[in-house]
Amino acid sequence: MRYLFLLLAVCIGQVSLAQQGDKLITLDDLWKNNTFKIASVPGFNAMKDGLRFTKLEKKEKHQEINVYNLAKGDMLQTIFNSEEQKFNGEEIRISGYAFSEGETRLLLFTEHESVYRRSAKYIVYVYDIASKDLVRLSDDKVLHATFSPDAGKVAYVKDNNLYYKELATGKEVAVTIDGKWNHIINGNCDWVYE
């Protein structure tokens, strides 16, 4: 019986000591300080061949997307240089990028604007790596820009409607037309689901 009381006293003492060091989670921790935000390696994308990776790098006055050898870490080539590939004579500032399926084109995301916790609108540019052509996807900021499997089209969400743009012709096609702010949301989640 003595041992039971001794064991109970030790357990209760440990629990009270452990609770003294606990910090309560506040709303500021969740939303303002991003204490629990998931971390990732920024600007690092493995290429399909498994031998190379790309990285968005900030230089003194410009940005570059460079290709590196995965095994040795040596830089192999620069596929985008914001000083050289300008749009209407102006340099663009890239927040992120995504390759097409065949890694022949890039979507360049600029002018980030948060919508909800995870969603963001961007001014998006399409960059053809071989020809070095840089084309703006839309005059407006868009969400969820994604290449088609053949890289001939880009789908996106704008004004609560789904669109795609044919890159060869520049034609924008509305897939839905009934989108309405805070009523009908096509192609995106509402804030509750984020």
Max mean pLDDT range (14-28, 72-86, 113-127): 72-86
- What is the CATH architecture of 44-193? Beta Barrel (2.40)
Provide the pLDDT confidence category of residue 17 given band limits of 50, 70 and 90: very low
C-alpha triplet 136, 46, 152: angle, nearest 5°: 35
pTM of the model: 0.74
pLDDT tens readout for residues 123-163? 999 999 999 999 999 999 998 999 999 999 999 999 888 99
Tell me, what's the pLDDT at 179?
Answer: 72
Residue 74, CA atoms < 13 Å, CB-side half-sphere: 3
As a whole-number percent, the residues of the chain with pLDDT over 90 amount to: 55
Mean pLDDT score, 104-130: 91
Q: Is the pLDDT of residue 102 over 90?
A: yes
- Where in the chain are the domains? 44-193
String of DSSP letters for 37-49: PPP--TTEEE-TT
Indicate the residue type of 13: G
Nearest-CA neighbor of 94 among 71, 133, 126?
126
Q: Is the dihedral of CA 178, 182, 188, 192 positive or negative?
A: negative
